[in-house]
Amino acid sequence: MAATGGVSGKIVYEQEGVYIHSSCEKTNDQDSLIAGILRVLEKDAEVIVDWRPLDDALDSSSILYAGKDSSSVVEWTQPPKEKVYRGSEHLNSYEAEWDMVNTVPFKKKQYTNGDAPSHRNGKSKWSFLFSLTDLKSIKQNKEGMGWSYLVFCLKDDVVLPALHFHQGDSKLLIDSLEKYVVLCESPHDKRTLLVNCQNKSLSQSFENLLDEPAYGLIQAGLLDRRKLLWAMHQWKKIKKDPYTATMVGFSKVTNYIFDSLRGSDPSTHQRPPSEMADFLSDAIPGLKINQQEEPGFEVITRIDLGERPVVQRREPVSLEEWTNNIDSEGRILNVDNMKQMIFRGGLSHALRKQAWKFLLGYFPWDSTKEERTQLQKQKTDEYFRMKLQWKSVSEEQEKRNSRLRDYRSLIEKDVNRTDRTNKFYEGQDNPGLILLHDILMTYCMYDFDLGYVQGMSDLLSPLLYVMENEVDAFWCFASYMDQMHQNFEEQMQGMKTQLIQLSTLLRLLDSGFCSYLESQDSGYLYFCFRWLLIRFKREFSFLDILRLWEVMWTELPCKNFHLLLCCAILESEKQQIMEKHYGFNEILKHINELSMKIDVEDVLCKAEAISLQMVKCKELPQAVCEILGLQDSEVATPDSDTGEDENIGMPSCATSTFQSDSLRVLATSGARDDGPTQISVSPDVSRLTLA
């Protein structure tokens, strides 16, 4: 629809017969009813809500609207005997249908150059226009009270005149606005819709990726407003389902943003890495990954890690092996050895239902069969008490509990799309889906502060599949969430920390590859976000995830082994990325398309080999030692401030928690002709030594 006058731009909503009731004392006086047209327009990079009287023939340039600082654009005046209402205090008092607001007209500030626009009539003072980014809340009328109305409250607590819809429902306007912003009921007043009020912590963090940094770029003239508008539309898709849309959506969004930054001049296509570093560090506050060399940083890039061993994995632990490691009372014998066997080969499927409870901490490793039976009884009672809490909430109670409603709504949506191709969850009215729903709802009672965040259903699904028991699956899930909790918290501190740590490890392994990624604005490793968020759940087949997770749960061979898995995958893709000169978007696309194409056994072998390579290194930086949980030697590290000679002050972090009496690792021969190097492990210490 083309604009016929007034504000130029693409009209996405238009409604005539939208009135302002200018005086509550004159509701029968037609002069007090100001008929107007309400429009929602896409103008440049903004979405604008515009109301003007039907006979207002002002040019769009004569109407000022609220920007980021609306106080500098609009000046409100208080007519005699009228009271100015502002903020939530006013909205809560808005009860009567006919002009419950003592409306506050406003006037435009005078132009500094003296060219003040002329008004054809006094009613033009009622015209208003604001950007959707400045909208704070919308107040709706009570149902069944005549014409519907809406009241817009801006972020600076300015309350606009009530708009009464004499010729149609206001719902169409709400539907139109919801294409651009998220609206939800206020927990204090169900008639008030709050803007961008997401309870989904993860979505909030994703939303921050565009808000302030993009606005700053617009103000600086670096970002095309039209392209940003398109990018924001794409970003809404990411916010609705962040963990599945991260790769494709982020690629599309950043493509437009970066094109605008680069412009048409080929000489600007390669920007300094620090420029992109600033943009992305603002996007996720607290994420600091160095893009420039700093004192001590060069040390990592020059370290010779030595030869990398070739690792061979064993067969999965069998039921017989498991049974032979249990005493007469049901205790697990030689727990360390059992963990090592699981790490090296995983578990046969028949064992998983039993062994996962130990790996996840639901059952203590030193518990007897009788103790575990008593524990299960206790945990069963505890689970159903929590389940009863949400099951017993009546519909009337739930109407007054917006958080519970939000959790339930999100869980129902996610459950219906979680692993539906797996026979355990396929089809309509599947009992597995019901159990997924009930466990996630009960977890909201267990940890109400966190509640439910998108992605958690992905973590529960394999657990329920293996346990085939609601209670056991819940407690295993609760234990797993203890490990993963920070990934889903509002500030996403866990994700920030892991991305920084991954960058540190990757730079140690291949500083050249890191430099290439930085040159393509990919040094922040955002393409690994989904891997870390839900522990590779979307990257491997369902059965491979069972193997991968049980190996990681052994906590061997070092702390943060999942980061070495990331390094192993990236190392495998390095050649293609660099030889084909992939840029930012191509890297994102390529990494996303690896899903379901990665060989889990190959990745586990490479990651273990990397860990052994690092363990052997006598010059491992202190930061890497801390990430991998390797014990420090008493010898000073080269980056410590001791003033000792570097040849004397070698760091040694070669002490690992990983032991294996039978471990044999073959070192890659490379150009050497002297056979493989054997690594042996002393039975009384956990230090790997060259034989």
Instruction: Please determine, for residue 502, whether its predicted confidence score (pLDDT) is greater than 70.
Output: yes
Mean pLDDT, rounded, for 174-194: 87
- Identify the CATH number of the domain in which residue 407 sits: 1.10.8.270
In angstroms, the CA 198 to CA 178 distance is: 13
In angstroms, the CA 250 to CA 254 distance is: 6
Tell the burial category of 165 from Cβ atoms under 10 Å away from its Cβ (0-12, 13-18, 19+).
buried
| Same-domain pairing of 617 and 497 | yes
Pairing of strands 74-76, 33-43: unpaired
| Same-domain pairing of 455 and 545 | no
Q: What is each CA distance from 140 to 83, 101, 145, 155, 193, in whole angstroms? A: 21, 13, 11, 17, 8
Q: Is residue 504 part of a domain?
A: yes
- Identify the CATH number of the domain in which residue 543 sits: 1.10.472.80
Mean pLDDT, rounded, for 142-161: 81
Number of structural domains (the chain) is 2
Boundary residue ending a domain (608, 628, 648): 628
Q: Is residue 13 part of a domain?
A: no
Q: What pLDDT sits at residue 429?
A: 81
Q: What Rg, from alpha-carbon coordinates, does the chain have?
A: 31
Work out the mean pLDDT of the chain and round it to a whole number. Answer: 73
Q: Is residue 648 part of a domain?
A: no
In angstroms, the CA 182 to CA 405 distance is: 16
3-class DSSP state of 137: strand
Q: What pLDDT sits at residue 510?
A: 94
Instruction: Please determine, for residue 130, whether its predicted confidence score (pLDDT) is greater than 60.
Output: yes
Q: Is residue 62 part of a domain?
A: no
In angstroms, the CA 179 to CA 234 distance is: 11
In angstroms, the CA 209 to CA 546 distance is: 33
Q: Is residue 4 part of a domain?
A: no
Domain containing residue 578? 493-628
CB atoms within 10 A of CB 456: 27
* pLDDT confidence bin for 7, thresholds 50/70/90: low
pTM over 0.75: no
Q: Is residue 690 part of a domain?
A: no
Give the lowest-confidence range in 25-39, 54-68, 134-148, 350-364.
54-68
List CB contacts of 220: < 8 A, sequence separation 6 or more: none
| Same-domain pairing of 377 and 463 | yes
Instruction: Please determine, for residue 663, whether its predicted confidence score (pLDDT) is greater than 80.
Output: no
Q: Is residue 366 part of a domain?
A: yes
Tell the burial category of 683 from Cβ atoms under 10 Å away from its Cβ (0-12, 13-18, 19+).
exposed
Whether the Cβ atoms of residue 152 and residue 49 lie closer than 8 Å to each other: yes
Q: What pLDDT sits at residue 466?
A: 97
Q: What pLDDT sits at residue 213?
A: 41
pLDDT tens per residue, range 76-102: 333 343 333 333 333 333 333 333 322
Q: What pLDDT sits at residue 125?
A: 67
pLDDT tens per residue, range 372-396: 999 999 999 999 999 999 999 999 9
Beta strand ranges found along 618-665 (DSSP E): none
Boundary residue ending a domain (453, 487, 521): 487
Boundary residue ending a domain (448, 472, 487): 487
